[in-house]
Amino acid sequence: MEISYLYIISNGTDLKIGVSKNPQKRLKQLQTGSADKLEFFELYPLSSKRVYSLEKECHQKLQTNYIKRGEWFKAPLFWDVRCVVESIIEKDLLPESQLESLTAE
């Protein structure tokens, strides 16, 4: 099984929800184009087969409640965004034990 990550990145006031197989590399790419310091708010390992449909579902759900600017959401309560995302991905989230066996291969 191939793993991708659904990430939530923060610039201190806004959140970006996206997908990457290499989230650290993606963070560095985004940082290059941002004057604000970016950091991971959350990082979720998921099956690469489902990750893009889950990302789309997260974007659709969040855009009804939050101002969207590109792929960035203005969210006054970051934990609220986390709850929405986790409610969508909870059945697809890979358990720690499965991640360890996949990365050991």
- Beta bridge pairs of residue 46: 4
Sheet holding 39-47, edge to edge: 39-47, 3-10, 14-20, 72-74, 67-69
Q: What ranges do the domains of the chain cover?
A: 3-104
Alpha helices in 9-63, H assignment, sequence order: 23-32, 51-63
pLDDT of residue 76: 77
The pLDDT-based confidence of 98 (bands split at 50, 70, 90) is: low
The region of weakest confidence among 1-15, 22-36, 37-51, 74-88 is 74-88
